[in-house]
Every structure is written in structure tokens, then in C-alpha cells.
Structure 1
Amino acid sequence: MVFRRLLGSMGVGGPQVDTVLAGGAVVPGGTLSGQVCLLGGESAERIEHIGLELLARVEAEHDDGESEGAVVFERFTVGGGFVLGPHEERAVPFSVPVPWETPVTELYGQPLGIVLGVRTELAVAGARDKGDLDPLVVRPLPVQEAVLEALGQLGCGFRSADLEYGHIGGTGQTLPFYQEIELTPAPQYAHAVSEFELTFIASPAGCQVVVEADRRGGLFSSGHDELSRVSLGHADAHTLDWNAEVDGWLRRLTDRPAHQPSLGHQAAPYACAPPVHHDPYGHGAHGHQDPYGHQGHHVDHGHHVGHGHHGHHDPYDRHDGHGSHGSYDSYDPYDKDDDHRSGPGVGTAIAAGAAGLAVGFVGGMVADEIVDEIGDFFDGDDD
């Protein structure tokens, strides 16, 4: 066990902390478990507060170009209110809900280049210090995996994935950022589209899939973006013909007559809200819907979407304190008796694309190096 000494405001000789996460990846809407291991310093200290922060590396577009920074998208209080004796060892177990909109960091065990972390904060005698930092690994929900697998089987290639600051209008998105997965089109779509961009907005009731197609320009038309939005239930992962379903989405976008140029500005489909100084402590009730309830997998066919600015609202409209389990559905989406999609054995192009991404986009990093990147990036953040 490797303890990290809390220096800074607590001084040398203070308590040390090591947060140990339960093995394996988590899923959106699932549970993150582990324990915070404490080792007392030279003297007894009152541990007032033990907190966990979920962080993400997020890109933001603005007038001067692009920038990136760390966003804390959830906080939890997992312990505190006790005295830690000199050199005393104590473990504080925790089990906290993972937000449904948490981005996916790996596909079939291959990293996608998304940087998420779990940071531990300790408050001792009125001083706070951010101590241990661990990578957060998130695998897709079954319905998300089914969509990605179908895209691979249809011949689309994996290009990159990142987190964009902003909101997608009309989705009910609650986090201040969304994940964008960029795909190269398969040959049957490439005549009309240069790229597909895919976003998942998950919830207890299901998952919305937003597909943006970068349409090519023609002799009498300009290039433009078109969107399609589909609402899926969690149970759809095991019932739909996914190749046919996803092919239908893409063909509705690519087979539509090209948009004729106009004098009006073609606005960006994603409303990018300015930074908000919200307090993400506490959870609002996400409802207790049946997580396997069908939403009729409603399809909102692709259309030109203008600016949908959401104003300066607090994206964390929550109201019940420090994160009770009751506000989240705690079902295990993989706890199914029937057969489900289970990884590399399916041999899809998306899996191969993800493997290529781990070598290309992530720069050939292995797991330990990705952990180092997480530490290097978040250690400089003082939020």
C-alpha cells in the first residue's frame, strides 16, 4: 500500500492517505466502491472531513481558440468526525453512485484517451488538502456498447474521443460537458459524409444517442452538419437488430438531399454555456424509473439545428445533500441471465479502432503512463 503524505497546509509529520478503488471498471449509473486508508502522523489529529471528487479533463472552444482544464463533476463526503491517533491505521470504506452521464474511458479494455480521476480530500483541524489521486475507468453500458459494436460491424472507423464543455439542446443533459466520439464513415456513407460524431446522454430510463454528420459540400451546396437523435431503453441492448437499426440512422442522415446554401449562418448544434460557479455537492433526484423501461426508441430525424443557448442555469439542479444512494438507480446493467455482448470476441472494427487509438491518439501509452498523465494534469488543479 502506497500512502501519500499530506503536505502543504498540514505540514510534514501529518496524516497520510491512500485511496484504493475496487478492482475493475465501473459503468455510468453504477457504483464506485473502495476504501480510504489513513495512517496517522506524529500526533493525534481530528479528521473533520473525507471527501471524494470526480474530475474530468475537458476541452472548451472560445473566440481565441481552444483550451482545456479540469472540471469537478461530482463530490461526495465519505467520512470524517473522528480522531486519528499517532501512527494509527484506519480504513474508511465507501460506495458512491457514478453519474449516469459519466463518459466512457475504455472500450473492450482499450483506453480511448479520456482522462477521468478520483481525488481524495482530507480536512484536518480546519485545513483542507487534496491528497491521493486515482484514475477512474468507465466501460460502456450495454446499450452504448451495442451501438458502438454495430458501427464497427458496419465499417465505421474510430478516430478519437474527447470531452467538450457545453450542453446539447433538448437532451436533458445535466453535466457541464459531453463526450464526443469521432468516427470515419464506412464506404457506403463516405460519398455524403466526411465524419460522424457520436454522443451518449444516459439516464436511469435509457440512453439518448445524438449522431452528427458532417455533410460534404457539392457543386451547388455547401458542407454542413446534420443531427439525428434517438431515445433508447436499456433493455433494447438485448432485443434490437443493431446493425439494421444503426444503419437506418446513418442512411437517414446521408441519403437526405443536400442542403442548399442560404444567406443565413448555419449555427453550431451544441450550445456552449459560459463557465458557471456551481456547487456540485448533493444530488437531485433522478427519479426511480424502471431502468429497463422502453422509451419507444424514438427517433428525432436529422435536421439543421441552430443555437440553443441554455443561459446561465446551474447544471447541477440538485437538492438533497451529500449524495444519497436513493437518488440513483443502483441496478447492475450487466447483471443479465441472457447472453450479452461481451468484448473482443465479437471482432468488430470498433474494437480494432479502439486498439489503434490506444497506439495512435493516446501516443502509445500503456496503463501506467495514462495514470501518470492523470496525475500530471490534475495535480496542477487547485479547484
Structure 2
Amino acid sequence: MFKKFLASVGIGAAKVDTRLFNDSVVPGDLLEGEVHIVGGDVAQDIDDIYLKLATEYKRETEDSTYHEECVMVNYRLLERLSIQAKEELVVPFSLQLPYEMPLTLGGTPVYVRTGLDIKTAINPKDKDALEVRPHPLMHRVLEAVEKLGFHLHRVDCQYAHHFGGAYPFVQEFEFRPTGNYSSPLDELEIIFNLSPHELEVLMEIDKRARGFKGWLDEALDIDERYARFYLTESDLYELDVEAMIDDVIQSHLH
């Protein structure tokens, strides 16, 4: 009886450990691994075993900025099982990652949380970080922008419920210009919207203020220009992405 009491407060209770076969992924990948469960000092009934794929984004109010968690995937592995004292169970899983998940560039966290639901007990949990690298289409755009003389200054996930995506945030890539663009531009911001068949790229081209009219335009936020284009897998081999982006920027400067 005393052991059952201790298990109910987390002492000598079952433990869970998720082991990922690959913790470096790109959006749309298949994430595979195993959930290892080790029984504690007494038998326990587990009502649910779940995996949650989550990230965090910034949300601003009038007087503060705070972080919220967004669960992108809530995956149930098993329902109701009993684990005996010191028993070891291994539950394999295969999880399709969303195309809309953010990259971990700039310190954006993406992680898998594993949990066991046990009645009248502290639920055992485990947390594993993922590295989310750019999809090949994203990598091509980032590479082209850098070749045009921009350097990546900041990456942020910001609340943007009005954007209409799968999640209540967007990931913004902010570039600062050097070289030929250091004079006419303040910054270049990019948002990716990846799907199974194409990449939508949204660009915000922020022109540097020029004289009184330029200052007035900047004050009224009408100096910001927007552009949109799409890339498919065939464009990786057939399209000069650098030249195309250069043309888009130039067209918004005149």
C-alpha cells in the first residue's frame, strides 16, 4: 500500500522515454522512433499514451510580450494498458510532420512531448527537441537571398491568426541588406507557406526613407511593398531563383 501511495506522487512510478531515430528533419518528413516505458515499484493502469508535436510563438499585447505554446500534432499511441512493476514496454511510432511547421533557425523551439495518463498519479512526461532544417525549396530561396547581398538578421514566430494558416502564427525571416541594396532598402522580410507540391513565398520589401516625402511615407507605413511568388520542385533545376527575386525587388523599387 505504501508503494502505491509513493507511486501516486511520482516516487517509484512508471517512467517514459521517447527515442527518436532521427531528430534532424525537414517539414513534411516522417518522424519515427520508439516510446520506452518502464514500470515502477507497483503495477499501474495507463489510460493513454500520447505524443504532442509543439512549438512556441510570440504574442504581443498593449503592454507586454509573452510566449504561447502551439500543439501542431496531437498523436495518441495507445489507449488503456496495464504495466507491471519493473516491466519494460516498447511502443514504436511513425508520425507525419506537418509542412507548416516552423524551422528551428534563430532559436525557435520545436519539440516532441510524450506523456502517460495515469489516474490518481503524477503523469510521467518526456520532452525531446527537434532540429527542423529548411525544405529544399526554402533552402533555395534563402540561398538566393543571401547571394543577393542580404544577411539573415532575425527569425521569429509571431501571432498572426488573421493570416489564415493551419496555426495561429507565422514564421518571419528578417534580412538586412548589404552591397547594392544597402542604400534603397531597410530590410527584407520573408514568410514561407509550404505545401506538398509547392512553396509560396511572401516578401515584404521595406524601402528606406528618402527626404521629407520618404519620411512621411515611412511614418504612414506606406513604404512597405509586398510580393508573392511560387516555386515547385522542377524550379530547383530549371529556374534562376536569384535572378527572379532580384527582378521582383527591382520592380518594387521603381
Q: TM-score, normalised by structure 1?
A: 0.59
Q: Which residue of 2 aligns with 1:41?
A: 40
After TM superposition, give the deviation of residue 127 of structure 1 in Å: 5.4
- The corresponding residue for 1:88 is 87
Question: Which position in structure 2 is the counterpart of 1:116?
Answer: 110
Aligned equivalent of 1:281: none
Cα distance in 2 for partners of 1:207, 1:9 equals 49
2:173 matched residue in structure 1:
181
Q: Cα distance 1:92–1:65, how it changes in 2: closer, same or farther (>3 A)?
A: same
Which residue in 2 is equivalent to 1:59?
58
CA distance in 2, matches of 1:213, 1:20: 43
Give the root-mean-square deviation of aligned CA atoms.
Answer: 2.0
Q: Secondary structure at the match of 2:86?
A: coil
- Structure 1 runs (4+) greater than 6 angstroms displaced: none
Moved more, 61-70 or 155-164: 61-70
Question: 1:17 matched to which residue of 2?
Answer: 16
User: 1:236 aligns to what?
Assistant: 235
- Rounded to whole Å, the distance in 1 between the matches of 2:166 and 2:116 is 27
What CA distance in whole angstroms lies between the structure 2 residues aligned with 1:165 and 1:9? 38
From 133, 142, 155, the equivalent of 1:139 is 133
More strand by share: 2
Where structure 2 has 5 or more consecutive residues not aligned to the other structure, the ranges are 1-5
The residue number in structure 1 matching 2:150 is 156
Given that 2:197 and 2:232 are in contact with CA atoms closer than 8 Å, whether structure 1 keeps it comes out as yes
Q: Do the aligned partners of 1:209 and 1:229 also contact (CA within 8 Å) in 2?
A: yes
Question: Once the 2 structures are TM-superposed, how far is the Cα of residue 232 of structure 1 from its aligned partner?
Answer: 2.0
**Is the CA contact 1:210–1:229 (under 8 Å) kept in the aligned structure 2?**
yes
Alignment of structure 1 residues 170-209 onto 2, 5 Å: 173-209=165-201
Q: Quick check: 2:23–2:129 contact (8 Å CA) kept in 1?
A: no
In structure 1, stretches of 5+ residues that fail to align are 1-6, 107-111, 257-383
Q: Is the 8 A contact 1:120 1:131 kept in 2?
A: yes
Instruction: Describe the SS at the equivalent of 1:80.
Output: strand
| 1:300 corresponds to | none
Query: 243-252 or 124-133: which moved more?
Result: 124-133
Contact 2:26–2:134 (CA under 8 A) maintained in structure 1? yes
Mapped partners of 1:157, 1:74: distance in 2: 32
Contact 1:10 1:124 in 2 (8 A): no
Identity within the alignment, %: 33
Change (3 A) 1:162 1:148: same
Shift of 1:9: 6.0
Residues 14 and 124, structure 2, Cα contact 8 Å, conserved in 1: no
Rate the CA distance shift 1:195–1:168 in 2: closer, same or farther, 3 A: farther
* Amino acid in structure 2 at the alignment position of 1:143: L
The alignment's TM-score, normalised by the length of structure 2, stands at 0.88
Query: 2: distance between equivalents of 1:174 and 1:131?
Result: 26
Change (3 A) 1:160 1:34: same
Amino acid paired to 1:184: R
For 2:224 and 2:65, locate their aligned partners in 1 and report how far apart those are by CA, in whole Å. Answer: 20
Deviation at 1:200, TM superposition (A): 0.5
Partner in structure 2 of residue 288 of structure 1: none
Q: 2:209 aligns with which of 214, 217, 233?
A: 217
Counterpart of 2:210 in 1: which secondary structure?
A: coil
User: What CA distance in whole angstroms lies between the structure 2 residues aligned with 1:119 and 1:9?
Assistant: 21
The AA in structure 1 aligned to 2:201 is: V
Bigger radius of gyration among the two: 2
1:105-140 superposed Cα distances (whole Å, 9 cap, x missing partner): 14xxxxx31111111121123657261011021111
Question: Partner residue of 2:78?
Answer: 79
Instruction: Check the 8 A contact 2:7/2:121 in 1, yes or no.
Output: no
